[in-house]
Amino acid sequence: MTKDASIEIPRSVESLAMGSQESQDDEARARQWAAAVAFIEQGPMCHYATINKDGRPQQSLVWVGVENDELVVASLWDHLKVRNVRRDPRVSLSMSSGSRDAMGITEYLVVEGMARVTDGGAAALLNKLAKIYVAPDAEWPPPPWHDHPPDGWITRITPVRVRGWGPWQEANPL
């Protein structure tokens, strides 16, 4: 008779084995996030959704940047999108690359996250983003606000979920 050849794996080795898979998953997520950041830094137009008081979505077309792994959106004035985030921090952003893959599917990126509004800095952020979205030598905000822009607000978004179709997506099931 043959005896069962199973062996007991010591806890430390089992943890290492699990950690190995987890670190591979972390590496894959890091690569996906790096691809998403590279895409965002190209300046795609971004549809930004917040939640109105009555629960309906509110959408704006915005310029978006990345600072310290957070997405950033600036507003010189206290627009509805800013007031909505103060009340409910859940947001979603979507962007299309305009590129199609080999199957003809347009690449797009969706980032769902939790947002917070910080005071000031909007003019400087908009000026930085204008060089991507308008022209390399663009100055923002334009007159008459250029010399004395309002402090405004920056909405900082911590990504919770990143999805879409492109190099930032998880493995394609096809």
Please indicate, yes or no, if residue 124 is contained in any of the structural domains: yes
Domain span at 102: 36-165
CATH number at residue 122: 2.30.110.10
What pTM was computed for the model?
0.82
Residue 22 domain-assigned? no
* Of 38-42, 49-53, 163-167, the least confident: 163-167
> Cα(168)–Cα(1) distance, rounded to whole angstroms?
53
In a domain, residue 17? The reply is no
Q: How many domains does the chain have?
A: 1
In a domain, 77, yes or no: yes
pLDDT at 22: 67
Is position 21 within any domain?
no
Q: What percent of the chain has pLDDT over 90?
A: 64
Residue 11 lies in a domain: no
Whether 2 has a pLDDT exceeding 80, the answer reads no
Tell me if 20 is assigned to some domain.
Answer: no
Output b/e per residue, 26-55; b: 16+ Cβ within 10 A.
eeeeeebbebbeebbeebbebbbbbbeeee
- Residue 143 within any structural domain of the chain: yes
Top pLDDT among 89 and 169 is at 89
Q: What mean pLDDT comes out for the span 62-78?
A: 96
- The model's pLDDT over 95-139, given as tens digits with 9 standing for 90+, comes to 999 899 889 999 999 999 999 999 999 999 999 999 999 999 998
